[in-house]
């Protein structure tokens, strides 16, 4: 009940650019039939750990203009195993209705990924990973500026995109840690969440969302299964937070996890080949 949007489609087809698209966005993706839903059999009924009753995020617009959560809210992410890019994911709410989906560009050096409403196909954001950065970052861009003076970050299919938030993987420490920051009109960023691993050793991914490194939890993201063809996550966010930004942050984290896993597999393969060549 805490999420305003509920959808059913999980994939779409890229359409031609609409010349007069409302809000200055490309033509929507084609929604799937409305009877497509996610199985709720294994959905947890409560967060794995206690969350702060209410979050205190920075002021500013929400992603896609939706409302803040009015209660502790769960979403469920799935990465499709048959994806050519590894960046085709879906987000479902607690009742199994799909609310968001992504579509990754195959020919993209920046891992360009489109985020859209599953129910309508309306495009709400794009994620790109810049190449020339010393820390791995993911830029979350939208088709609407934060304010009239904001300059576009780039264009996509002829439409301007504007910086909305940035996910950065930090290099300090042994265990993975990220920050999610929102942009201001002047181009500066303000931290929304500090994201870190919950356990020192675990076969599955368990991530905690805090408003700063030493504060209490406001959200969580947990890998559902250890062995599964598709990658599943259960995620929870407290009252007073932006549910769309939280869901898309989960999608960006999975993009980073996939890249890290591919890098580890490549390094392991190179080491194995090197040993055999001796």
Quick one: tokens of 22?
A: 């409302």
Rounded to the nearest angstrom, the gap between the alpha carbon of residue 108 and the centroid of all alpha carbons in its chain is 18
CB atoms within 10 A of CB 18: 14
Alpha carbon of residue 244 to chain centroid: 9
Model confidence at 5, pLDDT cuts 50, 70, 90, reads: very low
**Tens digits of residue pLDDT in 171-189:** 766 788 999 999 999 999 9
CATH 2.40.160.200 fits 63-269, yes or no: yes
Q: What is the pLDDT of residue 131?
A: 67
Interval 196-251: pLDDT, tens: 999 988 889 999 999 987 788 999 999 998 777 678 999 999 999 999 999 999 99
Please give the DSSP secondary-structure letter assigned to residue 61.
P
The pLDDT assigned to 24 comes to: 78
User: Exposed (0-12), middle (13-18) or buried (19+): which is 147, by Cβ within 10 Å?
Assistant: exposed
**What whole-number distance in Å separates Cα of residue 194 and Cα of residue 209?**
6
pLDDT of residue 2: 47
Cβ neighbours for 16, distance < 8 A, ≥ 6 positions apart: 27
pLDDT tens, position by position, 130-157:
866 677 899 999 999 999 999 999 988 8
Q: In a 3-state reduction of DSSP, which class is residue 141?
A: strand
Which pair of structure tokens corresponds to residue 277? 């060549």
Model confidence band, residue 107 (pLDDT cutoffs 50, 70, 90)? low
- Per the prediction, the chain carries an average pLDDT of 83
């Amino acid at each position: 009940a805490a999420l305003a949007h509920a959808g059913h489609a999980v994939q779409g087809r890229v359409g031609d650019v609409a010349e007069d698209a409302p809000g200055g966005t490309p033509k929507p993706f084609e929604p799937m039939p409305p009877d497509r839903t996610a199985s709720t059999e294994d959905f947890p009924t409560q967060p794995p750990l206690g969350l702060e009753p209410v979050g205190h995020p920075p002021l500013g617009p929400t992603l896609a203009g939706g409302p803040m959560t009015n209660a502790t809210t769960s979403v469920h992410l799935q990465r499709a195993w048959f994806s050519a890019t590894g960046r085709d994911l879906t987000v479902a709410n607690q009742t199994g209705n799909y609310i968001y989906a992504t579509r990754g560009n195959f020919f993209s050096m920046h891992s360009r990924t489109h985020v859209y409403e599953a129910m309508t196909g309306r495009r709400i954001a794009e994620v790109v990973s810049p190449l020339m950065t010393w820390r791995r970052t993911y830029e979350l861009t939208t088709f609407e500026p934060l304010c009239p003076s904001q300059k576009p970050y780039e264009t996509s299919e002829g439409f301007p995109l504007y910086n909305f938030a940035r996910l950065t993987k930090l290099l300090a420490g042994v265990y993975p840690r990220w920050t999610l920051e929102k942009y201001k009109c002047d181009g500066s960023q303000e931290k929304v969440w500090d994201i870190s691993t919950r356990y020192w050793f675990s076969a599955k991914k368990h991530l905690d969302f805090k408003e700063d490194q030493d504060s209490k939890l406001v959200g969580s993201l947990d890998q559902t299964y250890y062995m599964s063809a598709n990658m599943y996550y259960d995620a929870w966010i407290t009252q007073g937070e932006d549910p769309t930004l939280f869901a898309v942050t989960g999608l960006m984290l999975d993009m980073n996890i996939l890249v890290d896993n591919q890098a580890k597999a490549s390094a392991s393969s190179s080491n194995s080949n090197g040993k055999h060549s001796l």
